[in-house]
A and B are shown apart, each in its own frame.
Chain A
Amino acid sequence: MPEFPPFALFYLAALAAAVLPRVPRQVLMLAVPVVSCAALLQLPADLLVSMAILDLQLEPFRVDRLSRLFGILFHIGAFIGIVFSLHTRDRTQHVAALAYAGSAFGAVFAGDLLTLFVFWEMLAVSSVFLIFASRTERSYGAGMRYLVIQVISGVLLLAGALILYGQSGSLRFEHIGLTGAGGTLIFLAFGIKCAFPLLHNWLTDAYPEATPTGTVFLSAFTTKVAVYALARGFAGTEALVYIGAVMTCFPIFYAVIENDLRRVLAYSMINQIGFMVVGIGLGTALAINGAIAHAFNDVIFKGLLMMSMGAVLHMTGRMNGSELGGLYKSMPVTTALCIVGAASISAFPLFSGFVSKSMVMVAVLEEGHPFVWLALLFASAGVFHHAGIKIPFFAFFAHDSGIRTREPPANMLIAMGIAATLCIGIGVWPWVLYDLLPFTVNYTPFDGSHILAQIQLLVFSAAAFAWLKVAGIYPPELHSTNIDVEWLYRRLAPRWALKTVTVSHRTAQAASQAGKGLGRNLMRLVLHHYGPEGTLARAWPTGSMVLWVAVLLAASLVLYYL
């Protein structure tokens, strides 16, 4: 085992943060990612630590090109998130964030499925406190639903791993493939955390309910661990191409009509993961590189967008598009930083999204999926529409909401500044990122055709937005809830449960009523014959007795003669 495996450093820091006073805690939190990342970079390029527990051969720590890249990415994400949340006095959030980051490191460096399962569940248990930390009834409900779904994912993973162990006698986490019960269960487990269509609703339910700073951590780790796990276990699984294509398209419709701007970003997150899932499904070197590079960029630009919205929420206490607007007047720096994030997610040339998403797009066409490509192109225009334009427009421009506030605290601005610098830095100089990717990159991002095509797509999408807005066709931001898959478990299932209980209660009542009636009649009958006034209890006159004896004797006489 290396001396400082990242997860252990972060777990220790979480323990220390639970007792340290404010300033030492802040220093510790800033130092941990730096020290831990330096330690990671010192490790050899390939490292596998094995140990045996009883008869079980485990590999709790593995470094290779893929896990190293995610390790570096998570250090950057953790550092930005920590800087962004430094001002908060809420100790719970600091402890939860450190433990959550530690679990993400544990999961990506796990060399076997059992270790992966342990950290998979730790991710759920530690991150849920970032949702609870909002301390509202809504966040409590959303957090509980989040936890239940995440734990189910973990249970599926464990079940799948045990089936694979039974078949092969090994728990190593290598390529799994969508075969057999074990592979299918693990695929589903990864799919839940990756927000596959129909399994996605925990994300859009819970992330917008977390604290302004908590959402930044949430958007960095859970889904990206799942993308990593898919890339390792299911690269080249064709089903992923179609699953990913659906993921890129359906959330953008919800994003257009959603009012809560952090929920808009949550939907757009599924859309971005869709691009990665398509790349992993194609499985070629270019596609995998594109998917991984896009995961890397997404953590940073989605983090930047989440931070800019977190800053707005922190300063104004509002997050609905219908209540915001005109904030560029009092938050010009935040506005500019948000626009950098918006340009990056929209894949403007010279911003980070462009250098990674285009790799996936080219790979899709080269592998002969023209219709999937058209879907992704539709989603690319759509993401610019809802994340690139809608987010900055409704928060910072649109109609003036009359809100006058100030720029957020310095630490928030610095965190956003770091993320924005990385967005532009990677966008201009992508080879730094390309050098870290699992396969050698033979791809030129800046070629005239790509750049022109992308600019045309974006400029005309912007024109469509402007036209719809000026013509008054664009749907207004409204206070609303939009029904999604969660309706099944938040409405239909409780309603059925309630109905079942009511009906069975009524049936039981009716049955007991009927039973009572029956019993009463029976008692009346008994009383009629055997009660104190009953037929058999009456005092009969002696004469009638003599008469009956005579009748009996006569009858026996008649019978005797017959």
Chain B
Amino acid sequence: MLLFRGRRERLGTAVRQAADTGFTVLDRRLPAAEAAKVLLRKAFPDHWSFLLGELALYSFVVLVLTGSWLTLFFDPGTREIVYHGSYTPLQGLPVSVAYDSTLHISFDVRGGLLVRQMHHWAALFFLSAIGVHLLRVFFTGAFRRPREINWMIGVTLFLLALLEGFCGYSLPDDLLSGTGLRTANSIVLSIPVAGTYLSYLFWGGSFPGHVLNGRLYILHVLFLPGALIALVAAHLVLVFYLKHTQWGGPGRTNRTVTGRPLFPHFTAKSTGLLCMVAGVMAVLGALAQINPVWEYGPYRADQVSTNAQPDWYVGFLEGALRLMPPWETRAAGHTVMWNVLLPAVVLPGLLFTLLYGYPVFERWVTGERGESHLCDRPRDNPTRTGLGVAAVVAYAVLLLAGGNDVVAFSFHLSVNALTWLLRVLVVLGPVAAFLATKRLCLALQTHERHVLEEGEETGVVRQSVYGGLEPQRAEVRIDRRYRFLVRDLPRPAPPPERAAPRRVRLRAALSRWYFARREELPTTPEQRRHIEEALAEPERRRS
């Protein structure tokens, strides 16, 4: 034992010396010490809701790695050849080079199917993680000053990820993705006046043509990933520079950022998360079949398969297309296809305009305020939360409508009745969701006031000498009381004068709509002083 211990100590000393020397060598040539001083002790949040963005990041890492591997074998050509691979049902069928190489990857390249399926699963997961991360940031108000620009970068990432996903989905040139491109083609054609020219430009002639797949391939493996990587880097640099937001709590105020240091806590945790994401993707890729293009067959412009659904993140557009009534207008020798233009061009345009513009809009309504580094609890801003939930409900109805044929088939319903039900729901659902959510948020605030006034129910029930049953109550725990009381509620704008311009009156009305309803919580003067301190704005950093 003693002998071994001596050897271990000698080994330890040697390792330490090697590390010292290595660091000196690096530091003489690179800004290693400066970087380490800033980076290693940098605080990172440890609440689970802050890991959602990391999930997106790590699934993107998996996407880049698996995607790079797939480029070694994939050929996006549209030249027609005869299939002679090892999948017998398709033997001798005329297929495109792209479809042939997808089958080649799936059946003849070692590990090809696994990596292909991992890539597809990771893409679905990437978009889901982005969506959930976006919702987290929205509902906690983490987009407020100074993070508006980072929000916009994030929305751009979302948009690019959608495009990237659609391009990748279209590449194998199978019957399903070809149907998707046919839809995309009609969407482009629906743009008034410019549509036919744009379609001619993208497809290099009439649909399907031979140039689009090559263009999509370059977009998918070069331009979009390049833009994604650059914007992800900018996103992270801004998170570094602006610091993360945090939930309020003792010691966590608007001026002090707390968290775990980058090294070793955050590094260990985050590496673990990366490994878990990669592992889950590998397990899904190995066990769960996805996009079996050999079952769909090669694309032919005169064929459509039933039960054709896009990947889930494009499903809301598909749903909007299916719900839209068949409206058309003929004017001056042109046909305006409202049935495609509104759901597939105007709707996504509106969605992204709202996403980009929301922080600016809310700031305009709120009026001039300082920086916000503490997360809002969704219940403390009922109108914003209500709007968010309304948007989620509208999205969910559209997504459901994207599978209306499958839903009708599975539940033995009439597809027409279902479509009409969803048409009504997509209009009324969000309104009902908004009202219910706002009401619920206020109810939660009321509950907190009750808890503060009467104490928390411990669950122990006591019986009095008269036989009455009463819950036992206890003092609210300090961290809970802090969470209830430290909240940053803007005051509604004062009512404007009669002669005020319409813009000012509109702003005042919106401000009242946002901030007038609230539950006042009982506070002592000392608590009010503490709250004010916790919410005080940080001082500007002098450079």
Question: Do these two chains interact?
Answer: no
